[in-house]
Amino acid sequence: MSDQPQTTAEQPVQDRPIQTFMRRTSPLNTSQRQGLEQYAHLLVDASISDARQLFSQPEQPLTIEIGFGMGHSLVKMAATAPERNFLGIEVHIPGIAQCAFEAGQAGLTNLKLMNADAIEVLNGLPNGSIDRVQLFFPDPWQKKRHFKRRFVIPERMQLIEDKLSVGGWFHAATDWQPYAEWMLDVLQNRPRLGNVYPTEQYAPRPDWRPETKFERRGHAAGHGVWDLIYQRNSND
């Protein structure tokens, strides 16, 4: 028998990091192409060391939205809160392009967009540097074998807690009740997070989270939407 080391093919292969998303592709329409071309200054590179420095007023509180879809509500939030900076992270190019177009047309200077895996971005940011993390209508990954892909699991929430400043918020919303109950269970057991609505458990939709067309159609059909807002406390 040979004393040589095993070949690479025989050696165990490390698992890839589990992703919480699936990349999708679709053609760009005219406004989306314009968004990428005319408003490219809104797009930022994922290899940043401090997201606050992306903005002309870095001292303003930073909100990061993970998976903003087509970005309609993100643009509205940034437009109505010029005293805050917003960084949207998304992997769907048409959504990024559409959001860039709408933000550019609105002349926003407090919104930047990034095509990246949010987990990788968060890992590179300083602890305590984010005032608010938003996760609105994420993929609930309904099949049990996919539960590990859900964003809200203890390991990922530990990362969120590290990056939030004391007093900062994690705000999630979903229209799928089993996922709402899952998130509530995970978040209730995080010692560094406290429910802003401890009696009700689920929060009323705050005025600063715009209601989407999808959400309005759901309400009309009798479907519920659940918001969860948790605040980072000083426990370490």
Q: Say what the pLDDT of residue 177 is.
A: 93
Q: Say what the pLDDT of residue 136 is.
A: 95
Q: Say what the pLDDT of residue 133 is.
A: 98
Any idea what the CATH number is for the domain that residue 191 is in?
3.40.50.150
Question: What is the three-state SS of the chain?
Answer: CCCCCCCHHHCCCCCCCCCCCCCCCCCCCHHHHHHHHHCHHHECCCCCCCHHHHCCCCCCCEEEEECCCCCHHHHHHHHHCCCCEEEEEECCHHHHHHHHHHHHHCCCCCEEEEECCHHHHHHCCCCCCEEEEEEECCCCCCCHHHHHHCCCCHHHHHHHHHHEEEEEEEEEEECCHHHHHHHHHHHHCCCCEEECCCCCCCECCCCCCCCCHHHHHHHHCCCCCEEEEEEECCCC
Q: Say what the pLDDT of residue 17 is.
A: 60
**Does residue 7 lie within any of the structural domains?**
no
Phi and psi (nearest 5°) for 121?
-65, -50
* Active-site residue, selected from the candidate residues 3, 15, 117, 139: 139
Q: Say what the pLDDT of residue 2 is.
A: 40
Name the CA radius of gyration of the chain, rounded.
19
d(CA 28, CA 34): 9
Q: Is 139 a catalytic residue?
A: yes
Q: Say what the pLDDT of residue 41 is.
A: 96
Tokens 């919303």 found at: 173
- CA angle 58/64/67 to nearest 5° reads 150
Chain-centre distance of CA 114, in angstroms? 11
Q: Say what the pLDDT of residue 153 is.
A: 93
**Does residue 96 lie within any of the structural domains?**
yes
Contact by Cβ (8 Å): 66, 133: yes
d(CA 215, CA 191): 31
Contact by Cβ (8 Å): 201, 184: yes
Give the domain extent around 145. 28-232
Tokens 């095993």 found at: 6
Q: Say what the pLDDT of residue 9 is.
A: 40
End-to-end CA distance of the chain: 54
Q: Say what the pLDDT of residue 166 is.
A: 97
**Does residue 14 lie within any of the structural domains?**
no
Q: Say what the pLDDT of residue 6 is.
A: 40
Residues in CB range of 30: below 8 A, 6 or more apart? none
Contact by Cβ (8 Å): 235, 192: yes
Q: Say what the pLDDT of residue 183 is.
A: 96
Q: How many domains does the chain have?
A: 1
pLDDT tens over the chain, length 236 residues: 444 434 334 333 344 465 554 556 678 999 999 999 999 999 999 888 999 999 999 999 999 999 999 999 999 999 999 999 999 999 999 999 999 999 999 999 999 999 999 999 999 999 999 999 999 999 885 656 656 869 999 999 999 999 999 999 999 999 889 999 999 999 999 999 999 999 999 999 999 999 987 788 778 888 899 999 999 998 67
